[in-house]
Structure 1
Amino acid sequence: MQKNDSVPAWAGALAGLTAGALALGIAQLVAGFAGPATFPVVAVGDAAVDLTPAPVKDFAINTFGENDKTVLIGGVLVVLAGIAAVIGVLARRRLAYGFAGLAVFGVVGVVAVLTRPGARAADVLPTVVGVVCGAAALAWLIRRAGGPSPAPDHDTVPAFRQGGEGVAGRPPVMRAGGAGRGFDRRGLITGVAGGVVVAGAAAALGRELGGRRALDEARMHLALPKPATPAKPLPPGTDFRIPGLSPFITKNRDFYRVDTALVVPQVDPRTWTLRIHGMVDRPVELTYEELLRLPLTEADITLTCVSNEVGGPYVGNARWLGVRMPDLLRRAGLRPDADMLLSTSSDGFTCGTPVDVVMDGRDALFAIAMNGEALPVEHGFPVRQVVPGLYGYVSATKWVVDVKVTRFDQDEAYWTPRGWAAKGPIKTESRIDVPKAGDSLAAGRVTIAGVAWAQHTGVDAVEVRINGGEWRQARLAAVPGPDTWRQWALDWDATPGAHTIEARATDAAGRTQTERQAPPAPDGASGWPTITVQVA
């Protein structure tokens, strides 16, 4: 290896720090797939805890309390930064020295990982990949800082100026063969900037993946309590089981997701708390374990997004398990003039829910489970709100951590100043699932089917008409109550040609779905779902 005498010590240290950061960032990214325990910093920290004498552990706990682990990891990172800087200083002399230092760095990490309980050989992959990437980055940065300049021709070597200086203001550093190597400050700084960006992005993505993996494991090992009030058994005939028709229960993987979170929040149930405060007599704060010990209610409830177009996909039905919101609000002692619940998610999103709707006897829940399993992370794990009869933007806060009891004339939720209505009761709507718009059908008996919803009122009738003719009553599936959608179906003797199919629902209060077309903003879309098909 060539010496790099032209690179100053501080530049070598900076290159070493950047290479070390890149090594750790890549290691964390790989650990995001392999598991958080395989991240070498965590493994080294765990090994340090195991090897630390009991009096030192007691001192750390008494001094730092719950922050002792954070302090330990911070200390490990500081030590690693110092080692990385030394490795960079050595590498400016010979890259072999830097590679050797990184190899030792890697061996320590590998040993720490392999000595953890239940370790597997594959668990060393984050450390190995990180060290290899760090070594490549170190070599690149050192060469970038002191890259070779063209070998001067003896006939064209510039004469020294007065004082013995060359044309660059300093004598060139000569090496074997007559080639000079000058320090390239700009090359180093731009290289370091790129390395820092890559290291930061890799570490952030690794933490995201690792957090999601940890939460998935927490969800899988969570034993859901049995409901004190189980859902009623589904009556016979709730699902027509017609191909293409939305099933009565929407599977979790198929349930729509609409929210403002660019990155799905990773909320640890061990540290989650729910705070209820504001216009109450007794503020309440609950941990996840305390919430699970409360009486739980199970209910079948359909959720609808206000951004759903007529006939759109943003509606789904699930069996939810949770604590009734009215129970906790009564514990807090609602003040009579309060009319709004301003709920906040862990990522800062807010929505405003009318108090009277939550308190009128419907199954408004702080939900912990969906279709028999803990909430999926993307659907609000560990806790979300579910309020039948209201669009999600005013009721269905995911990752909920805070509920402020207040008034609509005192507070605004996220979407209200953006032009959406402060209150969002769901409109009576229907959707045609089969046939699909634009389908080509064979002449003869065809089944037209779909779903209709009018939470918390219930659907009483669905009508269908073809080509603007008479409305015909569709047959309705059974439902367990007024808070779910309802399947409907109609048999039609299709004749050749183009046909337009329309549907409309009527709720249990006698309100028929309006023909008037309206966009989702500001309070939900309206109109009759309409499709055109071709029959041959």
Structure 2
Amino acid sequence: MIDKTGPMTTTSRGYAALAGITAAAVAIGAAEPVAVLTGARSAPLIAVGGLVVDVVPAPLKQFAIAVFGTYDKIALLVGTAVLLGAFAAALGVLAARRLGIGLAGIAAFAALGVAAALTRAGANLFDALPSLVGGALGALALWLLLAGPLQPQLWSWSPAAPAAPPVPPGREPSPEASERRPVEPSGPVEPAAAAARSAEPAVSEARPVERAAPEARPIEAAVPPAPGRDEVDPEGRRRFLTGVGTLLGAAAVAGLGGHWLAGRRGVSAARRAVALPTPSAAAPAVPAGADLSLAQLAPYVTPTSGFYRIDTALVVPQVDPATWRLRIHGRVRREIELSFDDLLARPMVERYVTLACVSNDVGGDLIGNARWLGVPIKELLDEAGPEEGADQVVGRSVDGWTCGTPTAVLRDGRDALLAVGMNGEPLPVEHGFPVRMVVPGLYGYVSACKWVTELELTSFADFDAYWVPRGWSAQGPIKTQSRIDAPRPRNRLTAGPVMVAGVAWAQHRGIRKVEVRVDGGPWREATLAPTVSVDTWVQWSWRWDATPGEHTLQVRATDADGVTQTPQRRPVEPDGATGWHSVSVTVR
């Protein structure tokens, strides 16, 4: 008789938790093939993760970027999966007592996935399907493992006590005999045993206590142990584990298969087929000596594979250039819509531009310099004709992300581009293929819209872009900054000449001077390498005659406007970090 009010053993809890985790894996894995049809963003794990990105407080986001850097999205997905696994394990233990609790928990998670998917930009009712299908199959898996044909025996049970055999007439024990012999074996007694027993001498009142245990053993052995009291029944265990293995294997095949199919539906082939036009205005040649080629020093031109990536997209949008459209609308005199071919047919310019993320802390590496090919945004805006008071251009990504750029900045003659190429190739998919914005002198959160599909003319008074309600400034001009790349923190150096080197930047203003000092001593001017333009960073170097001991190096830059970067250390919120970068080293 199963008693679900009894205690579960540690082994039983482990099996119940495994059932919950398996059900969650089935739900997630089954949703992936469905998401191939509805879009990767509708998969429950991605949809919920995207919702987390949108609602998590800005300080926590910055903490994730500071700790994980460009791997912040992987960390978020792994963390979400771990939390889901813990939730599923607890749900499995609860469901072993009451299955309805487990089914309700799966339904709640499916509802969360549906809500998260339907609230994403451009969502439709079909985006709810992955969570619904995954939730239904996850609930079925939980039932099979805990209540259906695959269930093991998880609970202690109490068998009915066997009835005592009838005592033959005349054999009823006297009260005195009962006191002396509190336990008698049941059933017939062999004659030889009876004779041996009758030959035994009388015992004192204390001795029956010593003999009671041996005589009681046959009775204890006659009572079967309770299956489930210490471990799961072996047959049930085999059935359960076989079911778990089958379900987990099916979930893995479905999940990996869905991921593979999604990759097959990607736009890598379409990107390879793009032939970039020859620019009507090529980028100036990189002057000799612009790259000092020193160990540990960032190269003047950042390789595409090493260019930083910070955005809110948990899955990289796959935008087919054949169906891509750019709409320029809002407070304009003439609305414009362009296809990708229309954009490629326009005169293109090529420029070196250094981009920086507002989340880049002092001395950080969320910055890179590349050669971009694109159409000047100014020309498009001039054709559209912004109305009076339209002081903001809202770039909108295919996934709904927005950034607000001052209209005046996009029309002041700087090389603000709708870029289609990066370092001589079509844009990488993760960097905005087929089209993105590149604007010198502004942090990316207000200018560098990837996978851009709209430019809407509005005003700062009428619309707040994505990061503004989350505590960041509406406008983000890049601050003058510098960084020491060589030597690195905690390097052990040999006394004598040491080359100290790094980079400095003040896009669209340029760098006039870089200075270095040791242990708070006098500032020494570094040598600036040549550079392409004021829109890129510049490498610098300084020869230091190092002496033995512990030393601290500091650097500061002065831009072309004569403004020297402040020593006051401030965090990245709300519009970029400030302070001098310092490096501590040991000289022997």
Q: State the TM-score, normalizing by the size of structure 2.
A: 0.59
The corresponding residue for 2:316 is 264
Residue 394 of structure 1 corresponds to which residue in structure 2?
446
Contact between 2:401 and 2:466, CA under 8 Å: does it hold in 1?
A: yes
Q: Find the counterpart in structure 2 of residue 346 from structure 1.
A: 398
The 5 A counterparts of 1:164-175 are none
Question: Offset of 1:145 from its aligned partner?
Answer: 6.9
Is structure 2 residue 291 aligned with structure 1 residue 239? yes
Partner of 1:205: 259
Post-superposition offset of 1:198 = 6.2
**CA 1:288–1:534: 2 relative to 1, 3 Å:** same
Aligned residues of 1:24 and 1:199 also touching (Cα < 8 A): no
Offset at 1:211? 3.1
Computing the radius of gyration over CA atoms, which structure comes out larger, 1 or 2? 2
Partner Cα separation in structure 2 for residue 496 and residue 262 of structure 1: 48
Match in the other structure for 2:55: none
Q: In 1, distance between residues paired with 2:152 and 2:428?
A: 58
Deviations 1:50-83 (A, max 9, x none): xxxxxxxxxxxxxxxxxxxxxxxxxxxxxxxxxx
Distance in structure 2 (CA, Å) of the matches to 1:243 and 1:224: 34
User: Could you tell me how far apart the structure 2 residues matched to 1:476 and 1:22 are?
Assistant: 58
Does 1:511 pair with 2:566?
Answer: no
Q: Is the 8 A contact 1:25 1:199 kept in 2?
A: no
Q: Residue 484 of structure 2 contacts residue 555 of structure 2 at CA under 8 Å; is this kept in 1?
A: yes
Q: TM-score, normalised by structure 1?
A: 0.64
- Displacement of 1:202 in angstroms is 4.4
**What is the match of residue 269 of structure 2?**
217
* Alpha-carbon offset, residue 200 of structure 1: 6.4
Cα distance in 1 for residues equivalent to 2:248 and 2:492: 55
- Cα offset, 1:205, TM superposition: 2.1
**Which residue number in structure 1 is paired with residue 202 of structure 2?**
none
The answer on whether the counterparts of 1:22 and 1:199 sit within 8 Å (CA) in structure 2 is: no
Is the contact between residue 23 and residue 199 of structure 1 (CA under 8 Å) also seen in structure 2?
no
Query: Kindly tell me: are residues 348 and 149 of structure 1, through their superposed partners in 2, closer, same or farther at Cα, counting changes over 3 Å?
Result: closer
- The answer for unaligned runs of 5 or more in structure 1 is 1-17, 33-136, 151-188
Q: Shift of residue 207 of structure 1?
A: 3.9
Q: 1:384·1:396 contact (CA, 8 Å) conserved in 2? A: yes
Question: Which of 372, 383, 395 in structure 2 is aligned with 1:331?
Answer: 383
CA distance in 2, matches of 1:337, 1:384: 25
Counterpart of 2:306? 254
Runs of 4+ in 1 over 3 A off after TM superposition: 21-26, 144-150, 189-204
Partner of 2:329: 277
Matched, 1:370 2:422: yes
Distance of aligned partners of 1:148 and 1:328 in 2 relative to their CA distance in 1, 3 Å threshold: closer
Pairing 1:96-175 to 2, within 5 Å after superposition: none
Q: Residue 500 of structure 1 aligns with which residue?
A: 552
CA distance in 2, matches of 1:500, 1:389: 30
The one-letter amino acid of 1:211's match is R
Which blocks of at least 5 consecutive residues in structure 2 are unaligned?
1-25, 41-139, 154-242
Aligned to 2:540: 488
SS of aligned partner of 1:490: strand
Is it true that 1:385 corresponds to 2:476 in the alignment? no
After superposition, the Cα gap between the structure-2 partners of 1:148 and 1:371, relative to the gap in structure 1 and judged at 3 Å, is closer
Amino acid at match of 1:392: G
Counterparts of residues 12-51 of structure 1 (less than 5 Å)? 25=33
Q: Distance in 1 between matches of 2:152 and 2:427?
A: 61
**Which residue does 1:426 correspond to in 2?**
478
Cα RMSD over matched residues?
A: 3.5
Q: Structure 1 residues 148 and 425, CA, compared in 2 at 3 Å: closer, same or farther?
A: closer
CA distance in 1, matches of 2:152, 2:359: 62
Q: Return the alpha-carbon distance in structure 1 between the equivalents of residues 152 and 552 of structure 2.
A: 76
Counterparts in 2 of 1:194 and 1:149: CA distance versus 1, 3 Å: closer
Separation (CA, whole Å) in 1 of partners of 2:149 and 2:471: 58
Relative to structure 1, is the Cα distance of residues 444 and 210 closer, same or farther in structure 2, using a 3 angstrom cutoff? Answer: same
Contact 2:31/2:255 (8 A) holds in 1 = no
Distance 1:241 1:24, change over 3 A: closer
SS at match of 1:289: helix
Letter in 2 for 1:421: S
Contact 1:22 1:195 in 2 (8 A): no
After TM superposition, give the deviation of residue 223 of structure 1 in Å: 1.0
Q: Distance in 2 between matches of 1:294 and 1:338?
A: 25
Count of matched residue positions in the alignment of Structure 1 and Structure 2: 373
Letter in 2 for 1:209: G
Is the Cα–Cα contact under 8 Å of residues 244 and 434 in structure 1 kept in the other structure?
yes
- Residue 218 of structure 1 deviates from its aligned partner by 1.8
Q: Deviation at 1:222?
A: 1.6
Alignment CA distance shift 1:198-1:450 (3 Å): same
Identity across the alignment (%):
52
Distance 2:325 2:247 in 1: 39
Distance in 2 (alpha carbons) for counterparts of 1:519 and 1:23: 40
**What is the DSSP-based 3-state SS (H/G/I as helix, E as strand, rest coil) of the residue aligned with 1:341?**
strand
1:444 has 2:496 as partner = yes
* AA in 1 matched with 2:319: V
Q: Distance in 1 between matches of 2:403 and 2:514?
A: 32
Change (3 A) 1:255 1:191: closer
C-alpha deviation, 1:229, in angstroms: 1.0
- 3-state SS in 1 of match to 2:274: coil
Q: Deviation per CA, 1:122-180, whole angstroms, max 9, x where unpaired?
A: xxxxxxxxxxxxxxx99xx9xx9767999xxxxxxxxxxxxxxxxxxxxxxxxxxxxxx
2:362 corresponds in structure 1 to 310
State the alpha-carbon separation in 1 of the partners of residues 151 and 444 from structure 2.
Answer: 63
| CA distance, structure 1, for counterparts of residue 305 and residue 529 of structure 2 | 24
Secondary structure in 2 aligned to 1:432?
Answer: strand
Give the Cα–Cα distance (whole angstroms) in 2 for the partners of residues 364 and 333 of structure 1.
17
- 1:321 alignment partner AA: L
Tell me the CA shift for residue 201 of structure 1.
3.9
2:431 and 2:450 in contact (8 A); partners too: yes
CA contact (8 A) 2:32 2:254 kept: no
Mapped contact 1:386–1:395 kept (Cα < 8 A): yes
